Amino acid sequence: MSVDILETPIEYLKGVGPQRADLLKKEVGIFTFKDLLHLYPFRYIDRSKFYFVKDITEDLPYIQLKGYISNIQLHGGKRTTRMTARFSDSTGIIELIWFKGFKWLKDAFKPETEYIVFGKPNRFGPKYNIAHPEIEIVNPEAISQMSSMQPVYSSTEKLKAKGLDSRGISKLLGNLIPRIENHLQETLNEDIISQLKLLPRKETLINIHFPEEPHTLNKAIARLKFEELFFLQLSLLKTKTDREIKLKGYLFKDLGDSFHSFFNNNLPFELTNAQKKVLKEIRSDTLSGKQMNRLLQGDVGSGKTIVAVMTMLMALDNGFQACIMAPTEILAQQHYKSILKLLNGLNISIEILTGSTKQAERRRILGELISGKINILIGTHALIEEDVSFKNLGIVVIDEQHRFGVAQRAKLWEKTSNPPHVLVMTATPIPRTLAMTLYGDLDVSVIDELPPGRKAIKTIHQYDSARLKVFGFMKEQIKLGRQIYVVYPLIKESEKLDLKFLEDGYESIVREFPLPKYIVSIVHGKLKTADKEYEMQRFVKGESHIMVATTVIEVGIDVPNASVMIIESAERFGLSQLHQLRGRVGRGADQSYCILMTGNKLSNDAKQRIQAMVNSNDGFEIAEMDLKLRGPGDIQGTQQSGIVDLKIADIAKDEKILKFARDVARNILEKDPELSSDNNKTIAQTFKKIYKHKSRWSRIS
């Protein structure tokens, strides 16, 4: 086999050499020709057009001017903080401004010399300026080469210092392309390319770096996005197909005593249509002979617990055990209590296992698990410890799955020789595109309907200065018999300070709401489990009026009588977290409120988040907004998914291409699950190449 020229180390490219090679590796992870080829521009700018100073407006993005530089001045006394210069053309004057690089720049410009200045104009009072412009001397050759689609590559300070700014990188690509263009092989099947009218690969890669004209550039971008998303979806769907082929699923053939007597005697309410629909989907999965891997998405309070319970009963009726894993001790305790209550009188053995289970108790539980005496085990991470084994685990329910890592989930998988069915529940609604990618190998069910009789939560934004008014409102609500949460942020980086805020906040609340008329609870992660539990219980039982807490109460806590959620420093929380917190109220029949307290000065982003909360109660809408504001990289769970490695496609923006790519991948796998047909040779090869290096975690979710 011939050596692949694309694997050539980058130092062998003309213009690179050992020093630059070193930087390229360290700074941007470019080791080979191929890596450089796949460093795509993140934007294209028009460098063919010149503006006049008089035509500048605030909303122009990047502009290019021709004129003279004079009046260079350093500001800030001994320690220069700023340098300015005057730029003029025949129509007016603007200021150029720098905040660093003075030493080098202050003597760099010659008078009476015409320069090209490029940058983004900012308005400052009645005048305009350009900060850190790109500047070069006018020369006819340079101007004739200026493209209307000049690629912009992201670079770093260190690379720039070695001449590898955007333009330097473009030059390297100019050296690279002629050397490799005849070695660029197709990565997609002929029929896909012709059916979808995609640009061939060689043309695509040349055009992405050196666009000929806008239409071709757009086609090149579209092809690369499609290709990237297609192989990602192919991998996810193949994981799913492989699993379906390889693994047998336990059959939950009969609905028996447990299920029926629960349904007839214990079910405390009529199921919503959405709950019924999901139960049907689960029923059909567990009858299919395939192993179920299903993600259940449902907004906070949509009633996922009852679905989990009825699913576990299906397992029990067929002689299997069931377990449910929750991310925190508090949540596990709560599940335990509510499930005990729900299944009261049904002669089902339910136990709880957490980190704080006493040794002797733990030994007893482990024994009864293996003997099969225990039917349902509820717990935390403690469930996945080595020595926990079941007699015949039929189904695993994982609650609030985003709290668990992939590896932790995989451990549960290993608990039986044949993997159990898996139902993963999340109350963090995930935008559809993200779900397709993050959970692309799972089946997805959605509960898109809240139980009847819930009033929409009213969300209000208040500045800190309105605190007295908020205290007044709290008193009114307590008079009406309601309970109130007051939540403070607690972030690792600022933990000490945050704890102090929380404690100060608690004190001021106790002062405003004194004993014996008012009882205030406090819960945070630093308290001992027993104290936490005691305080929680007081609130759950309605013995305290106000619960001051950190986000430990974020997940799952269910106190229907609590109808006011006050979130302190709301600007510091992410959107999905705000929505989660808000979901702690609105669980009973009373009108509920969420009050977002913020400082007076808010960043633009914070304003948008607060506004989104005030405007919408819909978790899916909020999630879409979150994705748009933050991008996929910051959303919980995405770090481990590989989608943050996407080079050109954008999950938030390329929804259409993503769906399309998924459909194409699905069609191919339906006909050829092993990708072994001649027709699919090219994509099979590409697929192997892409995923050769990536370790394939055994996923159960």
What residues line the site for ligand ADP (CB under 6 A)? 269-272, 275, 298, 300-306, 427, 451, 558, 560, 587
Per-residue HEC secondary structure of 477-499 comes to HHHCCCEEEEECCCCHHHHHHHH
Which among 131-139, 162-170, 489-497, 550-558 is the span making contact with Mg ion, rule CB under 5 A? 550-558
Task: For 81-109, give the DSSP string.
Answer: -EEEEEEEETTEEEEEEESS-HHHHTT--
Binders of Mg ion among residues 470 to 499 (CB under 5 A) are: none
The size of the interface with Mg ion (CB under 5 A), counted in residues, is: 1
Which among 7-15, 113-121, 278-286, 553-561 is the span making contact with Mg ion, rule CB under 5 A? 553-561
150/305 with CB nearer ligand ADP:
305
Measured in whole angstroms, the distance separating CA 27 from the mean position of its chain's CA atoms is 25
CB of 267 to ligand ADP, least distance (A): 9
CB of 200 to ligand ADP, least distance (A): 49
By a kind-dependent CB cut-off of 5 to 8 A, residue 314 interacts, out of ligand ADP, Mg ion, none, with none
Which among 384-392, 554-562, 638-646, 668-676 is the span making contact with Mg ion, rule CB under 5 A? 554-562
Per-residue HEC secondary structure of 5-49 comes to HHHCEHHHCCCCHHHHHHHHHHHHCCCEHHHHHCCCCCEEECCCC
Nearest to 290 by CA among 418, 185, 470: 418
CB of 551 to Mg ion, least distance (A): 16
By a kind-dependent CB cut-off of 5 to 8 A, residue 92 interacts, out of Mg ion, ligand ADP, none, with none
Residue whose C-beta lies closest to ligand ADP: 303
Q: Determine which helix (DSSP H) or strand (DSSP E) holds 89, and give its type and residue range.
A: strand 82-89
23/450 with CB nearer ligand ADP:
450
d(CA 495, CA 692): 42
CB of 302 to Mg ion, least distance (A): 9
400/441 with CB nearer ligand ADP:
400
d(CA 521, CA 532): 9
d(CA 123, CA 126): 7
d(CA 421, CA 243): 12
Q: Is 619 near Mg ion (CB under 5 A)?
A: no
165/448 with CB nearer ligand ADP:
448
Binders of Mg ion among residues 556 to 595 (CB under 5 A) are: 556
133/556 with CB nearer Mg ion:
556
User: Measured in Å, how far apart are the chain's first and last C-alpha atoms?
Assistant: 39
Question: Residue 235 corresponds to which tokens in the numbers above?
Answer: 């991998």
124/269 with CB nearer ligand ADP:
269
CB of 472 to ligand ADP, least distance (A): 30
By a kind-dependent CB cut-off of 5 to 8 A, residue 303 interacts, out of ligand ADP, Mg ion, none, with ligand ADP
Cα angle at 395 between 390 and 396, to 5 degrees?
85
63/562 with CB nearer ligand ADP:
562
Q: How many helical (H) and strand (E) elements, i.e. helices and strands, does the chain have? A: 24, 22
d(CA 674, CA 242): 8
Residue 249 · residue 292 · CB < 8 Å: yes
Residue 4: DSSP 8-state: P
275/680 with CB nearer ligand ADP:
275
155/380 with CB nearer ligand ADP:
380
CB of 338 to Mg ion, least distance (A): 10
CB of 430 to ligand ADP, least distance (A): 15
By a kind-dependent CB cut-off of 5 to 8 A, residue 701 interacts, out of ligand ADP, Mg ion, none, with none
Coil/strand/helix, residue 240:
helix
d(CA 48, CA 10): 31
Residue 616 · residue 622 · CB < 8 Å: yes
d(CA 331, CA 308): 14
CB of 584 to Mg ion, least distance (A): 11
563/680 with CB nearer ligand ADP:
563
Residue 435 · residue 461 · CB < 8 Å: no
By a kind-dependent CB cut-off of 5 to 8 A, residue 587 interacts, out of Mg ion, ligand ADP, none, with ligand ADP
d(CA 322, CA 431): 30
Q: What are the CA-CA distances from residue 468 to residues 459, 472, 473, 509, 512 (Å)? A: 18, 6, 9, 11, 10
560/574 with CB nearer ligand ADP:
560
By a kind-dependent CB cut-off of 5 to 8 A, residue 269 interacts, out of ligand ADP, Mg ion, none, with ligand ADP
CB of 311 to ligand ADP, least distance (A): 13
CB of 564 to ligand ADP, least distance (A): 18
Burial state string for 197-208 with b = 16 or more CB within 10 A and e = fewer than 16: ebbebbbbbbbb
CB of 645 to ligand ADP, least distance (A): 32
CB of 527 to ligand ADP, least distance (A): 24
d(CA 61, CA 21): 33
271/478 with CB nearer ligand ADP:
271
Q: What are the residues binding Mg ion (CB under 5 A)?
A: 556
